[in-house]
A = this chain, B = another copy of it.
Amino acid sequence: MVYYETVLPVRYYECDPMGIVHHSNYIRFFECARSAMMEAYGYSVQACADDKLVFPIVSVQLRYHRSLRMGDTARVTAAIRKMPLAKLEVEQQVFNQDGVLCCEGSVVLGFMDADTGRVLRCPEKFAAMLAAHLSDKNET
């Protein structure tokens, strides 16, 4: 598994009239964790863009379990269990500072040539980045 997690304190503007993080923001937290993983593992979103590689979103699933609110700190995880061919599936979770699971889901992304818009198979450089960061974390 390729695994990463990052910490995001809740921002005031992310909270809605119920006083909780608006449900649309978890999809953004998911993206932040993926971006942080790519940066940490040596092939950042910006570096990909420089290589004309972008990641169209195919689908997202979210299940909400517990609210986050101002003062909370989200710990957001990204886990990749299968080396991608044409599609990359990322399992994602958001925990609060007490380790309670607040939201979980999965995101499926494609690979696309930024100039031509053509769908690509997973580029070797991206696959190599993943392969270099396989870990046993959370493996069952």
Contact = CB atoms under 8 A, between A and B. Distances in A.
Interface of A: 9, 11-13, 15-19, 22-25, 27-28, 31-32, 35-36, 39, 44-47, 49, 54, 56-64, 67, 69-71, 114
Contacts of A18: 17, 54, 56, 114
B31 A11 contact: yes
**10 tightest CB-CB pairs across the interface, nearest first?**
A46-B71, A23-B57, A24-B27, A17-B19, A46-B70, A59-B63, A60-B62, A15-B17, A13-B22, A24-B28
A17 B70 contact: yes
A52 to B, nearest CB: 11
Contact of A13 (B28, B36, B69): B28
